[in-house]
Chains A and B, each alone.
Chain A
Amino acid sequence: MRKLALSDEILLSIQQPARYIGGEVNMCVKDPKSVAVRFAMCFPDVYEIGMSHLGIQILYDMLNKKEDVYCERVYSPWMDLDAIMREKHIPLFSMETQDPIKNFDFLGITLQYEMCYTNILQILDLSRIPLHAADRTWDDPIVIGGGPCALNPEPIAEFFDIFYIGDGETVYYDLMDTYKESRKQNDSRDAFLKKAAQIPGLYVPSLYDPEYNEDGTIKSFLPNCPEAPEKIQRQIMMEMTDTFYPEKPLVPFIKVTQDRVVLEIMRGCIRGCRFCQAGMIYRPVREKSVEKLKELAKKMLKSTGHEEISLSSLSSSDYRSLESLVRFLIEEFYGKGVNVSLPSLRIDAFSLDVMSKVQDVKKSSLTFAPEAGSQRLRDVINKGLTEEDILSGASEAFLGGWNRVKLYFMLGLPTETTEDMEGIALLSEKIAEKYYEIPKDQRKGKVQVVASTSFFVPKPFTPFQWARMCTKEEFLGKARVVNHKMKEMLNYKSLKYNWHEADVTVLEGVLARGDRRVGAVIEEAYKNGALYDAWSETFKNEVWMKAFETCGVDIDFYTTRERSLNEVFPWDFIDAGVTKEFLKREWLNSAGGIVTPNCREKCSGCGIRRFGGGVCYENQD
């Protein structure tokens, strides 16, 4: 029996003890004494969320393939256990060996969303690792961050020794080897970090110093030693077929958010929506071969016993062999008790045909993401979905028996007018009207159209990185406009409108485009009780507002301020692949509503072609 870090009485008095005991199906077991490097991989949120993340499963598998590395996992203890660990002085531990995190060589933290930043401090704090990288010694693990938020790591720069910029499949082995060398040669921690800084894609924040202008913007951001490169190159795994992918992913005991086999069919997106960070920072589109995917699907279903398989990508309809893959999955597995789930699919004849086979039409709903209520604004954001597409898709679906539609929009997009907001209600109404065009005897009850809006947050490395963000009051005012218009609609009884509070959005805006000076606010908020900010039940806005005040950091500087075209951004030292010139061009085009074609229609010269692969070279295979 594996020893556990927590006693029976603790485990039996908290929610979901299975979050902390490990021992799941396909867990990697190694003797920690027989390896050179112990790596703790962390998702800084509760187990059910962290275990649903594909990236960690890929890295867990990849690192454990290396014989002399043992990669284990750690998640944020939920509030109930957090309190007990502080009271009883229990150090944070890993799932596998249940050993204290402090004893590991590396603590890797994935940065999937900004609102997890206080959870990072909780992880460090409970592990008894100094919060600031500057205070750490060889008694502490090397703390490394990666994932989409590492593309602007500055707000959390002080808390990390290294950031890994780009696809995890590329330079982790190099880092492990460099580490082993350094330890063998008795390098100092600083000497090791300087060596790490020379590995492409690795950013060591302590080796760079920002200087600020009088107006608070960045004057310069330069390395303070010769070992650190001026620009950090985002690492791209070009070969997506012949690379790491977990054939035996972990299977949790408790139900987690993503309780299924996840098959990543491609990385990147050809669409170029101007608000979307993922669409820019994962360029170029790289597909996995359909043969490889079929083989993986078989192996992964067998090794996990999951009853569902889901395709994962930013826009599955753009995967060129989608039909072949989906038909295979249905023929091979459907009917054997395995469900096929197809998110992020464009609604057309093919997808409706497939969905009618694998879903109960009566219970499922159709989802569209027009993102903006008018064609004008959809052109501004380069969302290539027209009203015509939506109405004809909905119409076909209604004839196929569906009668529930979900619509996703954003409020607060650049150039938005009242007409654009009201367009959300008008589009919802038009969809409802489409339904009632069907003769009464062919309709199945009432139609339900649910429109949801989120508030727009400008993100680094998107054309909208220059955009002014709305204030909380502006956001809520916009939601009121939509809500009011909804009630004026003829079929208002069939329409439903959802929106939520704007406090978190404002904060996300600060953290997304923040610089190093924001770090103090995160630390102050954490010390005053902010934790699990991504969870509405635990989010404490007043704590954050007070922290801004205490630290003298101005929210508006990061959110509502207009940025000039030649401002130096805190993330400019990263070369994400797409060039700043391209983003600038897109930003200027957006103002004029000029649409940019997708990568397969026409190359727009975003800068990613120089990396020599993916969609840019598709027809030259």
Chain B
Amino acid sequence: MKIRIKFSKQGNMKFIGHLDIMRYFQKAMRRADVEIRYSEGFSPHQIMSFAAPLGVGLTGSGEYLDIEVLSTDSSKEMVRRLNDVMVEDMEILSYKRLPDDAANAMSLVAACDYTITLRKDYDNGLSCSGKEFFTNLMLFIENGNLEVVKKTKKGEKLMDLKPLIYEKRLTEGGEGIFLKLSSGSSANMKPEQLLEAYCKSLGKEYPAFAFRINREEVYADSGPDTSHRFTPLEEFGDDIE
């Protein structure tokens, strides 16, 4: 039975890297007595996969992992059981059953939502307020040159970020920006790439620690042809009563 779990990773958990989050969840499954399926062989491992790794330093409020289980309680009960064994700043948001033929989360990822704000307790050297910064960033996305150099295994590649930004708007009060960015194997964009390009256009050094970046949601794209229809990954599953 395939299960999709939505969770949030906040606060100090942003310092824990993806590989350690995987280990964390493997142990959490055992603490919560989830009847997870194991692979065959001499060193069996849990059938578990994550939608998209979240970089160290970022928080997430709509993160996903898929597991396979032999049997399960109701969604409500499983969310409770898992939350009972979570540490502070980690929370299980939903636990849904997927159709047996469902594609795994990782292969579905097409876009992610982010909100970015400026840290108030950090001297970022940008000499402008958050409001100014993000208002101008909006204009930059509209009118600026968003071509960036991307380092790949084969060398350097020119990458245009513009078509990868599906949505942009200032957050309430204008102190931050909301972005829907292309993600996944075909065209993956990180919010830091945009921030870096913008700072470069200002002739300023990119202040890597100046921002708080939260990934809000991860989507699949089920739009026909070139049009997009983004669906949050949890909507592929149903609650278990």
Listed in ascending order, the chain A residues whose CB lies under 8 Å from chain B are 1-2, 4, 7-9, 11-12, 17-18, 21, 23-25, 27, 251, 253-255, 301-307, 337, 339, 360, 363
Contact = CB atoms under 8 A, between A and B. Distances in A.
B92 to A, nearest CB: 15
Contacts of B56: 12, 17
Given A8-B119, A18-B16, A25-B85, 14 more contacts: A2-B12, A9-B122, A11-B15, A12-B15, A18-B15, A23-B12, A23-B87, A23-B88, A303-B31, A305-B26, A305-B27, A305-B28, A307-B27, A337-B45
B20 A12 contact: no
A8 B26 contact: no
Contact of A253 (B16, B119, B121, B122): B16
A307 B208 CA distance: 37
B57 A8 contact: yes
A204 B45 CA distance: 51
Contact of B57 (A2, A12, A303): A12
Contact of A1 (B10, B28, B45): B10
A305 B12 contact: no
A1 B31 contact: no
In order of increasing CB-CB distance, the 7 nearest A-B pairs are A305-B27, A305-B30, A1-B11, A305-B31, A9-B209, A17-B15, A360-B42
Contacts, number: 78
Contacts of B122: 7-9
Given A1-B89, A2-B12, A8-B119, A25 B27 contact: yes
B38 interface: yes
Interface string B57-99: 1000000000000000000000000000101110000000000
Contacts of A307: 26-27, 30
A87 to B, nearest CB: 17
B23 interface: yes
A17 B55 CA distance: 13
Contacts of A2: 11-12, 88
A337 B30 contact: yes
A251 B20 CA distance: 12
Nearest to A17: B15
A248 to B, nearest CB: 10
Contacts of A23: 12-13, 87-89
Nearest to B42: A360
Q: Which of A27, A254, A302, A337 has the most chain B CB within a 10 Å cutoff?
A: A337
Interface string B130-172: 0000000000000000000000000000000000000000000
A307 B38 CA distance: 12
22 contacts: A1-B89, A2-B88, A7-B121, A7-B122, A8-B119, A8-B122, A8-B209, A9-B122, A11-B15, A17-B56, A21-B12, A24-B87, A25-B31, A254-B16, A302-B33, A304-B27, A304-B31, A305-B27, A305-B28, A307-B26, A307-B27, A337-B38
Contacts of A7: 121-122
A302 B33 CA distance: 8
B195 interface: no
Contact of B20 (A254, A304, A339, A360): A254
A90 to B, nearest CB: 16
Nearest to B23: A255
A604 B29 CA distance: 51
Q: Which of B30, B121, B209 has the most chain A CB within a 10 Å cutoff?
A: B30
Interface string B201-231: 0000000110000000000000000000000
A21 B15 contact: yes
Contacts of B27: 25, 251, 304-307
Interface string B1-31: 0000000001111011000100110111111
A9 B121 CA distance: 11
Contacts of B85: 25, 305
A360 B42 CA distance: 6
B46 interface: yes
B173 interface: no
Contacts of A4: 12
Given A8-B119, A253-B24, A254-B20, A360 B12 contact: no
Contacts of B89: 1, 23
Given A305-B31, A305-B85, A253 B209 contact: no
A361 to B, nearest CB: 9
Nearest to A20: B15
A339 B12 CA distance: 31
B44 interface: yes
Nearest to A24: B87
A251 B16 CA distance: 14
Nearest to B10: A1
B213 to A, nearest CB: 12
A436 to B, nearest CB: 27
Contacts of A301: 30
Nearest to B207: A9
A245 B122 CA distance: 44
Nearest to B32: A305
A138 B24 CA distance: 41
A25 B87 contact: yes
A543 to B, nearest CB: 33
A1 B88 contact: yes
B209 A12 contact: yes
B43 interface: yes
B206 to A, nearest CB: 13
A23 to B, nearest CB: 6
A255 B88 CA distance: 19
A306 B31 CA distance: 9
Nearest to A9: B209
Contacts of B119: 8
Contacts of B44: 337
A253 B15 CA distance: 10
A428 to B, nearest CB: 28
Contacts of B10: 1
Contacts of A306: 27, 30
A120 B206 CA distance: 39
A6 to B, nearest CB: 10
Nearest to A8: B209
